[in-house]
Amino acid sequence: MTPAFYNMFRNTGVHTKEEIKPHPILAKLYRGAAREELIFDVGVIPMLTPPLPWTSLRSGGYLLSPTSFIRLPDMALQQRFLLEKTPVQELYPSFDSLNMLALCPWIINKPVLDLIIEVFRNKGNVELGIPRPPSECEPMPKLIPGLSKTEKARINRERIAIKRRRGEMYSLWCDALYKLSIAKHFENKVFWFPHNMDFRGRVYPCPPHFNHLGKLHMGSNLKFIVTSKLYYDVINLTGFKKRDPIHERLRYADEVLPEILDSADHPFTGRQWWMKSDEPWQTLSCCMELAQALRSPDPSKYVCHLPIHQDGSCNGLQHYAALGRDQQGAEQVNLQPCNVPQDVYSGVAALVERERAKDAANGVHIAQVLEGFVKRKVVKQTVMTVVYGVTRYGARLQILKQLRDITNFPQDHCWQAASYLVNKTFLSLQEMFTATRQIQDWFTESARLISQVRGQPVEWVTPLGLPIVQPYHKLTVSKSPITTKTKNPIITSRWDMYERPNILKQKNAFPPNFIHSLDSCHMMLTSLFCQR
Which stretch of DSSP H or E encloses residue 445? Answer: helix 434-448
CB 82 within 8 A of CB 467: yes
CA distance 23 to 25: 5
Q: Which residues contact 113 (CB under 8 A, 6 or more apart)?
A: 180, 183, 184, 187, 216
Which stretch of DSSP H or E encloses residue 12? Answer: strand 5-12
Q: Which residues contact 134 (CB under 8 A, 6 or more apart)?
A: 166, 169, 170, 173
Domains of the chain, by residue range, sit at 1-30, 223-301, 327-432
Q: Which of 504, 477, 497, 503 is nearest to 489 (CA)?
A: 477
pTM: 0.82
CA distance 321 to 343: 15
Identify each DSSP E strand in 160-278 by its residue range: 195-198, 203-205, 219-220
Q: Can you give the pLDDT of all 532 residues of the chain as single tens digits? A: 889 999 888 887 777 888 899 998 998 888 777 677 888 999 999 999 999 999 999 999 999 999 999 998 888 888 888 999 999 999 999 999 999 999 988 988 888 889 999 999 998 888 888 898 887 878 888 878 888 888 888 888 888 888 888 888 999 999 999 999 999 999 889 999 999 999 999 999 999 998 888 665 444 443 333 344 555 566 677 667 766 777 787 888 888 899 999 999 999 999 999 998 888 888 898 899 889 988 999 888 888 888 877 888 888 899 999 999 988 888 889 998 888 888 888 889 999 999 999 999 999 999 999 998 999 889 999 998 888 878 889 999 999 999 988 888 888 888 999 999 999 999 998 888 888 888 999 999 999 999 999 999 999 999 999 999 999 988 766 655 555 555 566 655 565 666 789 999 999 999 999 999 999 999 999 999 998 9
Angle (nearest 5°) at CA 252 between 298 and 264: 55
Query: At residue 482, what are phi and psi to the nearest 5 degrees?
Result: -70, 135
Q: How far is CA 334 from CA 337, 344, 438, in A?
A: 7, 9, 21
pLDDT at 245: 75
Which stretch of DSSP H or E encloses residue 478? Answer: strand 475-483
Supply the angle between the helices 228-238 and 246-255 in degrees, to the nearest 10: 90
Instruction: Measure the N-to-C terminal CA separation of the chain; round to a whole number of Å.
Output: 69
Domains 223-301 and 327-432 share a fold: no
Residues shown for the chain: 532
CATH for 327-432, options being 3.30.390.50, 1.10.150.20, 1.10.3720.10, 3.20.20.150: 1.10.150.20
Strand partners, 191: 106
Q: Which of 339, 315, 308, 323 is nearest to 236 (CA)?
A: 308
Cα 77 to the chain's mean position, in Å? 27
The rounded radius of gyration (Å) of the Cα atoms in the chain is 26
pLDDT at 482: 56
pLDDT at 246: 75
What's 223-301's CATH class? mainly alpha
pLDDT at 243: 66
pLDDT at 224: 37
Which stretch of DSSP H or E encloses residue 17? Answer: strand 15-22
Q: How far is CA 377 from CA 189, 349, 403, in A?
A: 38, 9, 10
Calculate the CA dihedral of residues 521, 504, 426, 363 and round it to 10 degrees.
Answer: -170
Residue 337: which region, alpha, beta or left (left: phi > 0; alpha: psi -120 to 50)? beta
